[in-house]
Structure 1
Amino acid sequence: MDSTTSLPPFHLAFPVHSIAAAREFYGDLLGCPEGRSAEDWVDFNFYGHQIVAHYAPEEVGHRATSAVDGHGVPVRHFGVVLSMAQWEESAKKLADAGVKFVIEPYIRFKGEVGEQATMFFLDPSGNALELKAFANMESLFAK
């Protein structure tokens, strides 16, 4: 797909230990507008993508890491690729809110193909999220 093609929204369902905590984290902190909901689930607009928090406390949290650029990256994670300005704004907002980073915001693969800004953090249920950005979006899939 070339960069002028509009991508369809992605859908992701994930477990949480508390719908109220999910609303506070995804809605209030991350600023994701809420969509439909029921007692045991809630939709959020995550940068134009539909994510759905389902109450399933027995399924929460990440369990394994993988070594990437000298860091233990949570294997099970999701996130979004932002503009560099959005990434910087998000890093500041999360740090100011006292979010504990699994991997502090930094530039990964500096000077290499695929150089990117990245950060990892957990939601209140222990689900890992990654926010990343590329100075050059053309390097998103570069080898």
Structure 2
Amino acid sequence: MFRPIFHLAFPVQNLEESKDFYVTTFGAKVGRVRDKWCDIFLFEGQITLHERPSEVLPIGEHGVRHWGAVLAWDDWEALADRLNEMRIQFKVKPNVSFVGTDAEQAKMLLSDPSGNAIEVKAYKNLSVALSIEDFQKCSPTVT
């Protein structure tokens, strides 16, 4: 059965530099590549990077704009360790908050070379973010 694939597209300053960042940093797989755009597959989603420097916002104008993913706890920890070993510059270093409570969560925030913010989270108890019943209503393929 086909599972829906989340798709996101956004502008970048330099296509090759951005593509290399996602492949190197996150292990993304490259899909279609054209002159001024390419698809990458990451966190079970399709991201299209468009080389459109005039559409990239200056860092100070991003506000809360970001994209992100919620990973399994062990996967988040492994990624945080790997990114620390790579000496990635974080906007928010990998950290865990609400330790020992139902709301315990892990988070890190970094930017791609164009300043697009990426938040990667994990929850000890996923129902804190969205109850599994609500999640199943949104995505009936999840069991």
Distance (whole Å) between structure 1 residues aligned to residue 102 and residue 65 of structure 2: 24
**Is 1:97 paired with 2:93?**
no
Q: How much does 1:22 deviate?
A: 1.2
Report % sequence identity.
Answer: 38
* Partner AA of 1:24 in structure 2: D
Please name the residue that 1:35 is paired with: 31
> How well do the aligned residues superpose, as a CA RMSD in angstroms?
1.9
Structure 1: gaps of 5 or more residues: 1-5, 66-74
* Partner AA of 1:120 in structure 2: L
> Out of 60, 76, 81, which is 2:65 matched to?
76
Q: Which entry has the higher C-alpha Rg, 1 or 2?
A: 2
CA deviation profile, 1:82-136 (whole Å, cap 9, x unmatched): 0111111111111111211101111234455543100000101110000100112
Query: More strand by proportion, 1 or 2?
Result: 1
Query: More helix by proportion, 1 or 2?
Result: 2
* Partner AA of 1:20 in structure 2: E
* Partner AA of 1:122 in structure 2: S
- Change in Cα spacing, 1:85 to 1:17, as seen in structure 2 (3 Å) is same
**TM-score, with normalisation over the residues of structure 1?**
0.80
**Is 1:25 paired with 2:21?**
yes
Please name the residue that 2:108 is paired with: 119
Please name the residue that 2:8 is paired with: 12
Q: Is the 8 A contact 1:116 1:135 kept in 2?
A: yes
Q: Is the 8 A contact 1:114 1:141 kept in 2?
A: no
Please name the residue that 2:122 is paired with: 133
